[in-house]
Structure 1
Protein backbone atom coordinates (compact mmCIF):
# COMPACT_ATOMS: atom_id res chain seq x y z
CA UNK A 1 0.00 0.00 0.00
CA UNK A 2 1.18 3.53 -0.74
CA UNK A 3 1.84 5.49 2.45
CA UNK A 4 3.06 8.90 1.18
CA UNK A 5 4.23 10.90 -1.83
CA UNK A 6 8.01 10.57 -1.91
CA UNK A 7 9.31 12.60 -4.84
CA UNK A 8 7.87 14.77 -7.58
CA UNK A 9 9.70 14.90 -10.90
CA UNK A 10 10.06 18.41 -12.33
CA UNK A 11 11.53 18.55 -15.84
CA UNK A 12 13.37 21.82 -16.48
CA UNK A 13 15.33 23.37 -19.34
CA UNK A 14 18.15 24.70 -17.14
CA UNK A 15 18.91 22.72 -14.00
CA UNK A 16 21.39 25.23 -12.58
CA UNK A 17 18.86 28.08 -12.84
CA UNK A 18 16.20 25.81 -11.36
CA UNK A 19 18.42 24.92 -8.39
CA UNK A 20 19.12 28.62 -7.84
CA UNK A 21 15.41 29.45 -7.99
CA UNK A 22 14.30 26.75 -5.54
CA UNK A 23 17.17 27.27 -3.08
CA UNK A 24 18.05 30.98 -3.23
CA UNK A 25 14.60 32.41 -3.89
CA UNK A 26 12.16 29.88 -2.42
CA UNK A 27 14.36 28.72 0.46
CA UNK A 28 14.49 24.97 -0.21
CA UNK A 29 17.63 22.97 0.55
CA UNK A 30 19.52 20.58 -1.69
CA UNK A 31 18.96 17.07 -0.33
CA UNK A 32 21.12 15.25 -2.87
CA UNK A 33 22.67 15.65 -6.30
CA UNK A 34 23.50 12.78 -8.63
CA UNK A 35 25.34 12.70 -11.96
CA UNK A 36 26.00 9.43 -13.76
CA UNK A 37 28.71 11.06 -15.89
CA UNK A 38 26.79 10.30 -19.08
CA UNK A 39 24.43 13.25 -19.12
CA UNK A 40 21.92 12.04 -16.54
CA UNK A 41 21.97 14.55 -13.68
CA UNK A 42 19.30 15.17 -11.09
CA UNK A 43 19.05 17.39 -8.06
CA UNK A 44 16.72 16.74 -5.13
CA UNK A 45 15.39 19.83 -3.33
CA UNK A 46 12.85 20.26 -0.55
CA UNK A 47 11.76 22.53 2.29
CA UNK A 48 13.55 21.76 5.56
CA UNK A 49 11.97 18.74 7.23
CA UNK A 50 9.62 17.89 4.35
CA UNK A 51 8.71 14.29 3.60
CA UNK A 52 8.19 14.99 -0.11
CA UNK A 53 10.93 16.37 -2.34
CA UNK A 54 11.23 17.70 -5.88
CA UNK A 55 13.69 16.13 -8.30
CA UNK A 56 14.96 18.55 -10.95
CA UNK A 57 15.63 16.66 -14.19
CA UNK A 58 17.03 17.91 -17.49
CA UNK A 59 13.98 18.02 -19.76
CA UNK A 60 15.95 17.62 -23.02
CA UNK A 61 17.92 14.61 -21.75
CA UNK A 62 14.83 12.85 -20.36
CA UNK A 63 12.96 13.46 -23.63
CA UNK A 64 15.74 11.68 -25.54
CA UNK A 65 15.88 8.80 -23.05
CA UNK A 66 12.10 8.35 -22.75
CA UNK A 67 10.29 9.54 -25.89
CA UNK A 68 6.59 10.03 -25.25
CA UNK A 69 6.99 10.70 -21.53
CA UNK A 70 4.80 13.56 -20.35
CA UNK A 71 7.29 16.30 -19.48
CA UNK A 72 4.67 18.89 -18.53
CA UNK A 73 4.91 20.75 -15.24
CA UNK A 74 2.91 19.12 -12.44
CA UNK A 75 0.31 21.26 -10.71
CA UNK A 76 1.75 21.64 -7.21
CA UNK A 77 0.12 23.19 -4.16
CA UNK A 78 2.45 24.19 -1.34
CA UNK A 79 1.32 25.10 2.19
CA UNK A 80 2.50 27.97 4.39
CA UNK A 81 1.54 29.24 7.82
CA UNK A 82 2.01 32.91 6.85
CA UNK A 83 0.71 33.60 3.36
CA UNK A 84 1.05 37.39 3.54
CA UNK A 85 4.70 37.24 4.62
CA UNK A 86 5.58 34.69 1.92
CA UNK A 87 3.74 36.69 -0.77
CA UNK A 88 5.67 39.82 0.24
CA UNK A 89 8.99 37.97 0.40
CA UNK A 90 8.61 36.42 -3.06
CA UNK A 91 7.48 39.74 -4.52
CA UNK A 92 10.58 41.47 -3.14
CA UNK A 93 12.75 38.78 -4.76
CA UNK A 94 11.30 39.75 -8.17
CA UNK A 95 9.36 36.51 -8.49
CA UNK A 96 6.17 36.77 -10.50
CA UNK A 97 3.34 36.31 -7.97
CA UNK A 98 -0.41 36.46 -8.39
CA UNK A 99 -2.88 38.18 -6.14
CA UNK A 100 -3.98 36.52 -2.91
CA UNK A 101 -7.37 34.95 -3.54
CA UNK A 102 -9.94 33.66 -1.04
CA UNK A 103 -10.99 30.11 -1.93
CA UNK A 104 -13.45 27.89 -0.05
CA UNK A 105 -10.49 25.88 1.29
CA UNK A 106 -8.37 28.92 2.26
CA UNK A 107 -6.36 31.86 0.96
CA UNK A 108 -4.04 31.11 -1.96
CA UNK A 109 -1.75 32.73 -4.53
CA UNK A 110 0.38 31.45 -7.37
CA UNK A 111 3.97 32.15 -8.37
CA UNK A 112 6.13 31.40 -11.40
CA UNK A 113 9.65 30.08 -11.66
CA UNK A 114 12.27 31.35 -14.14
CA UNK A 115 10.76 29.11 -16.89
CA UNK A 116 7.21 30.46 -16.39
CA UNK A 117 6.02 27.29 -14.63
CA UNK A 118 3.29 28.21 -12.16
CA UNK A 119 2.81 26.79 -8.66
CA UNK A 120 0.31 27.61 -5.91
CA UNK A 121 0.64 28.29 -2.17
CA UNK A 122 -2.19 27.95 0.34
CA UNK A 123 -2.31 29.17 3.92
CA UNK A 124 -2.72 26.23 6.30
Structure 2
Protein backbone atom coordinates (compact mmCIF):
# COMPACT_ATOMS: atom_id res chain seq x y z
CA UNK A 1 0.00 0.00 0.00
CA UNK A 2 1.09 3.59 -0.65
CA UNK A 3 1.75 5.52 2.54
CA UNK A 4 2.59 9.03 1.21
CA UNK A 5 3.56 11.04 -1.85
CA UNK A 6 7.35 11.13 -1.90
CA UNK A 7 8.31 13.22 -4.92
CA UNK A 8 6.60 15.15 -7.67
CA UNK A 9 8.36 15.40 -11.01
CA UNK A 10 8.26 18.86 -12.58
CA UNK A 11 9.59 19.14 -16.12
CA UNK A 12 11.07 22.59 -16.76
CA UNK A 13 12.95 24.38 -19.52
CA UNK A 14 15.56 25.96 -17.24
CA UNK A 15 16.46 23.96 -14.15
CA UNK A 16 18.68 26.63 -12.57
CA UNK A 17 16.06 29.36 -12.99
CA UNK A 18 13.38 27.05 -11.64
CA UNK A 19 15.54 26.08 -8.63
CA UNK A 20 16.10 29.76 -7.91
CA UNK A 21 12.35 30.46 -8.14
CA UNK A 22 11.46 27.74 -5.64
CA UNK A 23 14.26 28.60 -3.22
CA UNK A 24 14.42 32.39 -3.43
CA UNK A 25 10.73 33.19 -3.88
CA UNK A 26 9.00 30.35 -2.02
CA UNK A 27 11.60 29.56 0.63
CA UNK A 28 12.15 25.93 -0.36
CA UNK A 29 15.59 24.41 0.18
CA UNK A 30 17.66 22.27 -2.14
CA UNK A 31 17.58 18.67 -0.94
CA UNK A 32 20.00 17.49 -3.61
CA UNK A 33 21.42 18.27 -7.04
CA UNK A 34 22.46 15.18 -8.95
CA UNK A 35 23.96 14.41 -12.34
CA UNK A 36 24.18 11.02 -14.01
CA UNK A 37 25.72 11.15 -17.45
CA UNK A 38 23.72 13.75 -19.40
CA UNK A 39 20.81 13.62 -16.95
CA UNK A 40 20.59 16.21 -14.17
CA UNK A 41 17.92 16.70 -11.55
CA UNK A 42 17.40 19.10 -8.66
CA UNK A 43 15.26 18.16 -5.67
CA UNK A 44 13.66 21.01 -3.69
CA UNK A 45 11.28 20.92 -0.73
CA UNK A 46 9.65 23.17 1.85
CA UNK A 47 11.47 23.24 5.20
CA UNK A 48 8.91 21.05 6.97
CA UNK A 49 7.61 19.17 3.94
CA UNK A 50 7.62 15.42 3.48
CA UNK A 51 7.06 15.66 -0.27
CA UNK A 52 9.70 17.16 -2.56
CA UNK A 53 9.64 18.48 -6.12
CA UNK A 54 12.23 17.14 -8.53
CA UNK A 55 13.11 19.53 -11.35
CA UNK A 56 13.94 17.70 -14.56
CA UNK A 57 15.07 19.12 -17.89
CA UNK A 58 11.98 18.92 -20.10
CA UNK A 59 13.90 18.68 -23.38
CA UNK A 60 16.15 15.88 -22.12
CA UNK A 61 13.24 13.85 -20.72
CA UNK A 62 11.31 14.29 -23.97
CA UNK A 63 14.24 12.80 -25.90
CA UNK A 64 14.52 9.88 -23.46
CA UNK A 65 10.75 9.17 -23.38
CA UNK A 66 9.16 10.62 -26.55
CA UNK A 67 5.56 9.75 -25.61
CA UNK A 68 5.70 10.91 -22.00
CA UNK A 69 3.28 13.56 -20.76
CA UNK A 70 5.47 16.48 -19.70
CA UNK A 71 2.62 18.77 -18.68
CA UNK A 72 2.64 20.63 -15.38
CA UNK A 73 1.03 18.71 -12.53
CA UNK A 74 -1.84 20.45 -10.77
CA UNK A 75 -0.43 21.05 -7.30
CA UNK A 76 -2.16 22.47 -4.24
CA UNK A 77 0.13 23.68 -1.47
CA UNK A 78 -1.04 24.45 2.07
CA UNK A 79 -0.13 27.36 4.33
CA UNK A 80 -1.27 28.64 7.70
CA UNK A 81 -0.50 32.25 6.68
CA UNK A 82 -2.25 32.84 3.35
CA UNK A 83 -2.37 36.64 3.47
CA UNK A 84 1.30 36.89 4.43
CA UNK A 85 2.36 34.46 1.68
CA UNK A 86 0.24 36.28 -0.91
CA UNK A 87 1.88 39.57 0.10
CA UNK A 88 5.39 38.09 0.13
CA UNK A 89 4.99 36.60 -3.35
CA UNK A 90 3.51 39.85 -4.66
CA UNK A 91 6.47 41.79 -3.25
CA UNK A 92 8.86 39.33 -4.95
CA UNK A 93 7.16 40.02 -8.31
CA UNK A 94 5.61 36.55 -8.57
CA UNK A 95 2.47 36.46 -10.68
CA UNK A 96 -0.32 35.78 -8.16
CA UNK A 97 -4.07 35.59 -8.48
CA UNK A 98 -6.63 37.11 -6.17
CA UNK A 99 -7.49 35.34 -2.91
CA UNK A 100 -10.73 33.44 -3.46
CA UNK A 101 -13.01 31.89 -0.86
CA UNK A 102 -13.84 28.28 -1.73
CA UNK A 103 -15.93 25.77 0.25
CA UNK A 104 -12.71 24.14 1.51
CA UNK A 105 -11.00 27.41 2.42
CA UNK A 106 -9.30 30.51 1.03
CA UNK A 107 -7.01 29.95 -1.95
CA UNK A 108 -4.95 31.76 -4.59
CA UNK A 109 -2.85 30.66 -7.53
CA UNK A 110 0.65 31.67 -8.55
CA UNK A 111 2.89 31.11 -11.54
CA UNK A 112 6.57 30.26 -11.75
CA UNK A 113 8.91 31.93 -14.24
CA UNK A 114 7.82 29.48 -16.97
CA UNK A 115 4.11 30.28 -16.51
CA UNK A 116 3.35 27.00 -14.73
CA UNK A 117 0.44 27.63 -12.37
CA UNK A 118 0.05 26.23 -8.86
CA UNK A 119 -2.38 26.91 -6.03
CA UNK A 120 -2.04 27.45 -2.31
CA UNK A 121 -4.78 27.05 0.29
CA UNK A 122 -5.01 28.24 3.85
CA UNK A 123 -5.03 25.34 6.31
CA UNK A 124 -5.25 26.12 10.00
Settle same-fold status: TM greater than 0.5. yes
Shift of 1:79: 0.2
Two-structure CA RMSD over aligned residues (Å): 0.5
Structure 1 ranges of 4+ moved more than 2 A: none
Q: How does 1:1-124 map to 2 (within 5 A)?
A: 1-36=1-36, 38-124=37-123
Residue ranges of structure 2 left out of the alignment (5+ in a row) = none
Paired positions, count: 123
How many angstroms apart in 1 are the aligned matches of 2:114 and 2:30? 19
Cα drift, residue 39 of structure 1? 1.7
Aligned equivalents of 1:86 and 1:27: distance in 2? 11
Could you tell me the TM-score, scaled by structure 1's length? 0.98
Instruction: Report the TM-score when normalising by structure 2.
Output: 0.98
Which runs of no fewer than 5 residues in structure 1 stay unpaired?
none
